[in-house]
Amino acid sequence: MGEMLRVSDLNVFYGSIHAIKDISFHVDEGEIVTLIGANGAGKTTTMHAISGLLKPKSGTIDFLGSRISQMEAHKIIRLGLAQVPEGRRVFSHLTVQENLSMGAFTRKDGASAIAQDLEMVFDRLPRLKERRKQQAGTLSGGEQQMLAIGRALMCKPKMLLLDEPSMGLSPLLVKEIFKIIEDVNKDGVTVLLVEQNAKMALEIADRAYVLETGTVKMEGPADELANNIEVRKAYLGC
């Protein structure tokens, strides 16, 4: 499998705060790669730089051979890179189905292909199908997270960026969301996952990077890091 995403020597500032310091990592096609770390480690900032919401001060981001570091966010989506943002961010006054349709706004492959993918999302996430006419703001937190994932899938992404998908969810729902992420990956979508729930993230990931105050502190196969004493103490509570 070839390399899909490469981040090299990335530096990102918020005003005078140096949030990301020379970080480098890559994601290969077909992988689930996770970035783990405490609050404020720079995980979400890294995601925002990749998706075009923040412009890096220096360094490069390449996706499928295209340099995207200074590209506008909507152009990055068209290349096949979709983000499920932290806090879900659904359009609360629109219905479930309208939210999903919003995910297809950059597509140019016609109404019948989009309708087909809508049914595919409903098959994968049957709870959304039951609530297709319901306002998104009335859904539970777990259902809103499913909707945010479904909306991203409507872009027909080659790669999915997921930012803290387990945040605020019960352990049972977290398991369900992570199972959906695994299934999406098995269907050929590459995944970059940012997660504070290091235990769950390391269970489903192929490889992991540990971020600490804006730098990559450790990297390696997910199962190795899950058994690393430092990682267990700092992030797994054991």
For residue 73, give both structure tokens: 């966010």
Residue 102 has a pLDDT of 86
Whole-structure pTM value: 0.91
CA dist 27 and 209 (Å) reads: 11
- The three-state secondary structure class of 164 is coil
Q: What is the pLDDT of residue 88?
A: 67
In the chain, which residues have pLDDT < 50?
none
Q: What pLDDT is recorded for position 238?
A: 60
Q: Quote the pLDDT of residue 98.
A: 92
Count how many domains the chain has: 1
Residue 95 DSSP class: B
CATH of the domain at 43: 3.40.50.300
Q: Is residue 182 assigned to a domain? A: yes
Q: Which amino acid is at 236?
A: L
> Using CA atoms in the order 161, 166, 168, 172, what is the torsion angle rounded to 10 degrees?
150
Residue 168 lies in a domain: yes
Residue 18, classified by CB atoms within 10 Å of its CB into exposed (0-12), middle (13-18) or buried (19+), is: middle
Q: Could you tell me if residue 229 is inside a domain?
A: yes
Q: Is residue 77 part of a domain?
A: yes
Please identify which residue in the block is written with the tokens 């730089």.
49
In a domain, 113, yes or no: no
Q: Work out the burial of residue 217: count CB atoms within 10 Å of its CB; fewer than 13 is exposed, 13-18 middle, 19 or more buried.
A: middle
Residue 237's pLDDT is what? 72
Q: Which domain holds residue 222?
A: 12-88+157-235
Tell whether 126 is covered by a domain.
no
Residue 200 φ/ψ, nearest 5 degrees: -65, -40
Residue 16 within any structural domain of the chain = yes
Judge residue 74's burial from the number of C-beta atoms within 10 Å of its C-beta, 0-12 exposed, 13-18 middle, 19 or more buried.
exposed
Q: Look at residue 232 and give its three-state secondary structure.
A: helix
In a domain, 65, yes or no: yes
Specify the residue for token string 């306002």.
135
